[in-house]
């Protein structure tokens, strides 16, 4: 069996464009958001509802709204935070994590991305 050295490997570059649907972007952003400290869950946006409804992890995009226009991409996250956390710090971390994850996975230019955080409720993690 032949052995290859690192210098022997050739990397293939594929030219073209990458098109990512808004649903996929929402899933990626939701995943990144749920990975952040202080985020209990995503708030499912129900029309006319007064109560907050936490979405199951399988439906991360329910709390994420994605819009694109000529200025770029806007991702709005509707989150439920853990009671007692520093909201400003969590929101800064959340914005940074979502932007980084979208750049790494979907190759979205951070200069073309706006992330809006909407805190819908505070809850205890165990309740």
- Domain ranges in the chain? 18-123
The 10s digit of each residue's pLDDT in 40-76 is 988 876 545 454 555 454 466 788 999 998 889 999 9
Q: Please report the pLDDT score of residue 59 as a whole number.
A: 62
Half-sphere CA count of 126, side-chain side, radius 13 A: 0
The DSSP code for 43 is B
* Element at 27 (helix H, strand E): helix 22-34
pLDDT band at 95 (very low <50, low <70, confident <90, very high): very high
Q: Would you put residue 38 in left (φ > 0), alpha (ψ -120 to 50) or beta?
A: left
Instruction: Output phi, psi for 34, to 5 deg.
Output: -70, -15
* CATH number for the domain running over 18-123: 3.30.70.1350
Kindly state the tokens that stand for 38.
């202080």
> Can you list the positions of beta strands (E) in 1-127?
39-42, 64-69, 72-82, 113-123
Q: Please report the pLDDT score of residue 69 as a whole number.
A: 86
pTM: 0.75
**Distance between CA atoms of residues 108 and 99, nearest Å:** 8
Taking the mean position of all CA atoms in its chain, how far away is CA 119? 15
pLDDT exceeds cutoff 70 at 98? yes
Compute, in degrees rounded to 10, the torsion defined by CA atoms 30, 34, 35, 38.
140
């Amino acid at each position: 069996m032949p052995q290859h050295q690192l210098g022997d490997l050739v990397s293939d570059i594929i030219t073209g464009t990458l098109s990512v649907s808004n649903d996929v972007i929402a899933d990626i952003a939701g995943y990144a958001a749920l990975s952040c400290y202080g985020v209990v869950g995503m708030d499912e946006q129900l029309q006319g509802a007064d109560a907050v409804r936490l979405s199951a992890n399988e439906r991360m995009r329910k709390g994420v709204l994605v819009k694109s226009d000529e200025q770029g991409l806007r991702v709005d996250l509707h989150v439920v935070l853990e009671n007692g956390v520093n909201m400003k710090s969590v929101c800064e971390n959340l914005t940074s994590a979502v932007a980084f994850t979208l750049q790494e996975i979907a190759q979205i230019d951070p200069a073309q991305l706006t992330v809006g955080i909407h805190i819908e409720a505070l809850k205890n993690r165990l309740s």
